[in-house]
Structure 1
Amino acid sequence: MKFAVTSRGDEKSDGLMQKIKNYLLEFNLVYDIDNPDMVITVGGDGTLLYAFHHYAHRLSDTAFVGVHTGHLGFYADWKPEEVERLVIHIAKTPFKIVEYPLVEVIVRHNDTTKSERYLALNECSVKSVVGALVMDVEIKGEMFETFRGDGLCISTPSGSTAYNKALGGAILHPSISSIQMAEMASINNRIYRTVGSPLVLPQHHTCLLKPQSEGDYHITIDHLSIIEKDVKSIQCRVAEEKIKFARFRPFPFWNRVRDSFIK
């Protein structure tokens, strides 16, 4: 099996990364940074997000596993003191693949047929560079509402515990193939009105955002920050691709939610 290891870049994470690499090489696994079958990330959820985007072109061929050197993450579930156990599992034990849904974001422009396509593991957020965001929201080809406010956040189920939760969105189990749209400070009065609640859309429903006026838009795709000009529409839906996680032991989602926010 071919593997790659990435690190957050601090001294502790770099040391663990080298330790994991050396151990796996001793087990005669092949280190291949370009075409790995498995990517081990050392750091936290942010490190795994970076690795996901780096290897987004080969999601069907690559599985991810995370070691956290800080707080317990939603993606990085192995502790530093468990590294030797993890290495033996990778080298000797058949593992289970768990797949999580992603959100596909397609940005189209008024002056060209060219479009940009992005995949997000956590969420996509949309804001206006200047002033309030004013967008017509279409769901499954039908006009739903005109949103006015600070912005919109479209999240995956696994990303529902991140920015989405801070906006009052629901926490969704990653086995539910869906996306969720949450509002940021919507304007609601006698003239302007939005639904005012997060929306959960199933896999076969598409959300289309259409600006009511010309302008530049600030779009985030996980940790990536992009300024898009002359936007015609922003299309969001559940992506055909999924991220694969290598599981060597149970990693219950609701336990992670409890440990992160309650325990």
Structure 2
Amino acid sequence: MSVRNHLYLSYKKTEEMEKVVQPISELATQHGFTLVSNPVEANIIASIGGDNAFLQATRKTGFRDDCLYVGISVDSSGFYTDFTIQEIEQVIQAIKNEEVEVRRYPILKVTVDHEKPFYCLNECSIRSNVIKTFVIDVFIDELHFETFRGDGMIVSTPTGSTAYNMSVNGAVVDPTLPSLQVSEIASLNNNDYRTLGTSFLLGANRKLTLKVVQDGNDHPIIGVDNEALSIRHAKEIKMELAERHIKVLKLKHNSFWERVQRKFL
């Protein structure tokens, strides 16, 4: 493993968090890490907070595939945060001694109306912004697969399958299986509109296209991870797995399924 010692700390800039981060900065410097203020100069990006903070850190730093991400939680560990503040010295030693492993997580690429694409780690959701259902034509590659009417749809990555996707009874997917999961939010099924009625998985090379049918409710809310996009007139949303991954430092003996068991069983 090449030497990685340029460290960027990503966290919410509040007085409380500054107090939390200060001893981390000092400890990292003592162990030979160079703290940088610009994430572009870093080859390790450490998120301090929970899973939401980790999602923000990856998005704000551009989902870089040429550096390592590490999640450090303030309290208990999460799906992206194997480490806690209380274990920070062990974290630094583990990184220096290569006692961690690098896991590659797929990223979802989202293109709205042929504009510059957005990326997300968990999911992209499209939902009605009023108390009214809306209609989406669903295409898999070039096949018009179904016409959906309801409150919205969620398209998630395997690591995102335990997030918003679970709240609509989507399946939990092993992150070693690169795929897209498509889940419905309160679909209507009648003689005019018919959907599969369940979540389904698409392979890594598939392309999903959602075309919003203009019927008076053509201003859906589009969310990527934990942020809503400021797009008012979305007509076509294309989604596929990106060609790159993010690399995340994880404990060797803390697998995805161990975390699922710990969180939900």
Same fold? TM cut 0.5: yes
Cα distance, 1:74–1:10 mapped onto 2, change above 3 Å? farther
Q: Secondary structure at the match of 1:74?
A: coil
Determine the C-alpha separation between the residues in 2 that align with 1:85 and 1:10.
Answer: 25
Match of 1:38 in 2: 44
Determine the C-alpha separation between the residues in 2 that align with 1:15 and 1:182.
Answer: 41
What whole-Å deviation, never above 9, does each CA across 1:132-166 have from its counterpart, x for those lacking one? 12010000110000000000000110010010000
**One-letter identity of the residue aligned with 1:221:** V
* 8 A Cα contact 1:8 1:44, kept in partner: no
Q: Secondary structure at the match of 2:209?
A: strand
Match of 2:213 in 1: 212
Please give the root-mean-square deviation of Cα atoms over the aligned residues, in Å: 1.8
Match of 2:252 in 1: 249
Following superposition, the deviation at residue 77 of structure 1 comes to 1.1
Match of 1:116 in 2: 116
Q: Secondary structure at the match of 2:249?
A: strand
Match of 2:174 in 1: 173
Kindly report which structure 2 residues correspond to 1:42-53, keeping only aligned pairs within 5 A, or say none: 42-53=48-59
Q: Is the aligned partner of 1:79 residue 2:80?
A: no
Q: Which runs of 5+ in 2 are unaligned?
A: none
Determine the C-alpha separation between the residues in 2 that align with 1:4 and 1:119.
Answer: 21
Following superposition, the deviation at residue 13 of structure 1 comes to 4.6
Cα distance, 1:166–1:239 mapped onto 2, change above 3 Å? same
Q: Secondary structure at the match of 1:173?
A: coil
What whole-Å deviation, never above 9, does each CA across 1:49-70 have from its counterpart, x for those lacking one? 110011115x121211112123
Question: Which of 39, 54, 60 is residue 54 of structure 1 equivalent to?
Answer: 60
Match of 1:21 in 2: 25
Question: Which 4+ stretches in 1 moved above 4 angstroms?
Answer: 8-13
**One-letter identity of the residue aligned with 1:212:** V
User: Percent identity between the aligned chains?
Assistant: 31
Following superposition, the deviation at residue 129 of structure 1 comes to 2.8
Following superposition, the deviation at residue 202 of structure 1 comes to 0.7
Question: Which of 240, 259, 262 is residue 262 of structure 2 equivalent to?
Answer: 259
Following superposition, the deviation at residue 232 of structure 1 comes to 3.0
Kindly report which structure 2 residues correspond to 1:149-188, keeping only aligned pairs within 5 A, or say none: 149-188=150-189
* 8 A Cα contact 1:4 1:40, kept in partner: yes
Determine the C-alpha separation between the residues in 2 that align with 1:168 and 1:76.
Answer: 24
* 8 A Cα contact 2:7 2:34, kept in partner: yes
Cα distance, 1:13–1:91 mapped onto 2, change above 3 Å? farther
**One-letter identity of the residue aligned with 2:60:** H
Number of matched residues? Answer: 256
**One-letter identity of the residue aligned with 2:45:** V
Q: Which runs of 5+ in 1 are unaligned?
A: 109-113
Cα distance, 1:27–1:72 mapped onto 2, change above 3 Å? closer
Match of 1:111 in 2: none
Cα distance, 1:13–1:89 mapped onto 2, change above 3 Å? farther
Following superposition, the deviation at residue 12 of structure 1 comes to 6.4
TM-score (norm: length of structure 2)? 0.90
Determine the C-alpha separation between the residues in 2 that align with 1:62 and 1:12.
Answer: 28
Q: Secondary structure at the match of 1:194?
A: coil
